């Protein structure tokens, strides 16, 4: 197993298990070669709830600057632990277009190897996980999602575009949703990522679902490759040790099926290729 460049440690509010050292020990035990810790930093909530005149809730976790700082500090320190698996210091920046300057400040932290740019929420809405889908015109909602992802793709505060199609993850019967009408904007997203020298990830979090799928799926991964996309990472978005190696070999095979012969890792935001 080559890499898992998207994992959450106990610093992420939705993970709360496994220190970085425990995660690295587990990665070594399964023979992983590259591991990134990428805890959440929702940049639209960097400060305290009081700062925004809001209240903390399960749906809205604040103080994301503190979460990122604690995670980056622990991960950077863990780089001195003797390890065959190479530990990369990362962060998952959510909602970059809602606070580009805050995102860039984190991105420029000299300890960071990589940043994933993700869209978990649309402006003034909670995470897609919490939406009541009966309240929305689904194609309108998904169009807004891809428009937000395009803004992330055009930003300068990420290295890897996170889990493309996350906006469909919690749709009732999301796997049946036809994305064909969204292909033009998805092409715009890929064109922007490629032009800016960034990567996308093949995220296997939804391989645990029934029916299983990936973000993006094989159709979109092939489209990215056909358009000239060369920079690709593989990840499971693990929130616990047991999910670090889960389906990784399947993801690597999917990448080969889409035409990739190399995967990408980042050191201090510089991409490096490794044979697949």
Which spans of this chain sit near Zn ion (rule: CB under 5 A)?
A: 92, 118, 237
Within the chain, residue ranges assigned H as helices are 20-29, 64-78, 100-107, 138-154, 183-195, 218-226, 248-257
Between CA 261 and CA 199 the distance in angstroms is 15
Nearer to Zn ion, 70 or 230 (CB): 70
Closest to 194 in 3D by CA, of 149, 236, 228: 228
Between CA 104 and CA 41 the distance in angstroms is 12
Shortest approach of Zn ion to residue 120 CB, angstroms?
6
Query: Minimal CB distance to Zn ion: which residue?
Result: 118
Shortest approach of Zn ion to residue 166 CB, angstroms?
6
Nearer to Zn ion, 13 or 271 (CB): 13
Shortest approach of Zn ion to residue 62 CB, angstroms?
18
Q: Are strands 3-4 and 262-267 parallel, antiparallel or unpaired?
A: unpaired
Nearer to Zn ion, 114 or 134 (CB): 114
- SS3 state at 23: helix
- SS3 state at 78: helix
CB atoms within 10 A of CB 121: 24
Nearer to Zn ion, 121 or 237 (CB): 237
Shortest approach of Zn ion to residue 149 CB, angstroms?
12
Shortest approach of Zn ion to residue 67 CB, angstroms?
13
Shortest approach of Zn ion to residue 92 CB, angstroms?
5
10 Å CB burial of residue 6 (0-12, 13-18, 19+) is: buried
Closest to 181 in 3D by CA, of 205, 210, 145, 211: 145
Nearer to Zn ion, 226 or 242 (CB): 242
Between CA 137 and CA 147 the distance in angstroms is 16
């Amino acid at each position: 197993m080559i890499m898992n460049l998207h994992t959450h440690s106990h610093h992420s509010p939705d993970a709360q298990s496994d220190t970085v050292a425990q995660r690295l020990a587990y990665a070594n035990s399964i023979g992983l070669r590259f591991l990134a810790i990428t805890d959440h930093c929702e940049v639209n909530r960097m400060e305290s709830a009081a700062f925004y005149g809001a209240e903390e809730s399960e749906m809205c976790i604040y103080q994301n600057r503190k979460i990122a700082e604690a995670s980056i500090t622990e991960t950077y320190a863990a780089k001195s632990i003797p390890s065959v698996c190479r530990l990369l210091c990362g962060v998952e920046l959510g909602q970059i277009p809602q606070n580009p300057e805050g995102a860039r400040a984190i991105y420029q932290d000299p300890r960071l190897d990589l940043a994933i740019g993700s869209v978990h929420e649309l402006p003034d809405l909670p995470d897609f996980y919490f939406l009541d889908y009966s309240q929305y015109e689904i194609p309108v909602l998904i169009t807004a999602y891809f428009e937000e992802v395009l803004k992330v793709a055009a930003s300068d505060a990420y290295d890897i575009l996170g889990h493309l199609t996350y906006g469909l993850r919690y749709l009732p019967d999301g796997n049946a949703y036809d994305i064909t009408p969204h292909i033009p904007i998805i092409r715009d997203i890929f064109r922007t990522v490629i032009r800016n020298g960034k990567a996308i990830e093949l995220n296997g979090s939804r391989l645990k679902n029934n029916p299983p799928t990936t973000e993006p799926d094989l159709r979109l991964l092939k489209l990215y490759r056909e358009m000239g996309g060369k920079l690709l990472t593989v990840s499971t978005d693990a929130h616990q040790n047991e999910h670090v190696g889960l389906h990784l070999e399947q993801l690597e095979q999917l990448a080969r099926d889409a035409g990739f012969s190399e995967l990408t890792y980042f050191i201090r935001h510089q991409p490096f290729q490794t044979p697949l």
